[in-house]
Structure 1
Amino acid sequence: MRESNQAASSEQINDENRRGPFAIVPKYDCPHLGDNAYLFLQSTQHTGDQQPPCVDCNKTEENWACLHETCNYIGCSRYQQKHMLNHHQTTGHNICFSFSDNSVFCYACDSYVDSPQLHSLNRQLNRASH
């Protein structure tokens, strides 16, 4: 009986270690970025605190912009109605930008990404916020 209590205790400890905020470490070598220098198309830019609405459900929270070179799709996150995920699955467009925290995500890598190729996007964001 004592062994099962010890096993339960270590399982509880492991569960406790999984809770709480986690640091997200971006991938620095995403092959899906290609050679593009990423910028927002005029139609996907936003101003002020309001995010552009999701094309499919019109929500203005947790939205992402597709960064495929000619795409101007705005979709809500997987924590809303998953329209950006659906967009990726139907188009194969991998790279998208979060309006909530200015992060970039690659669906093919299933990872947040960072790269010098995204610096022009960051500069564009900084100019728009001033």
Structure 2
Amino acid sequence: MAATYDPNNIFARILRGEIPCRKVFENEHALAFNDINPQTPTHILVIPKGAYVDMDDFTAKASDAEVAGLFKAVGEVARQAGVVENGYRTLSNCGRDAHQEVPHLHIHIFAGRDLGGMIGRAK
């Protein structure tokens, strides 16, 4: 069963201006900002402005314009951050087994060093 959207999650509060962020990009449907606990030299979060729990919720309920706006934002942020040439990784955790920490869809952009291979093989 999917999680319920919590309107008081940290990203909802950032969107409402209750918590500051270091914004790097914004369009009609998305906001991007530097992660407060970066895991790589470049670690940016891109979030939709709508109230979506995770990728499943977003792809089931978001309008075509919202979907396009979010994914265009990811590409634009990567280009503006100058990480396209050497490469970057995007990640969006969805649900319990993926260890999603905030119940608002967010896409991580990791870059700035060799990120290694994918996750380990299934057992």
TM-score (norm 1): 0.27
Task: Determine which structure has the larger strand proportion and give its number.
Answer: 2
- Which is higher, the Rg of structure 1 or of structure 2? 1
Task: Determine which structure has the larger helix proportion and give its number.
Answer: 1
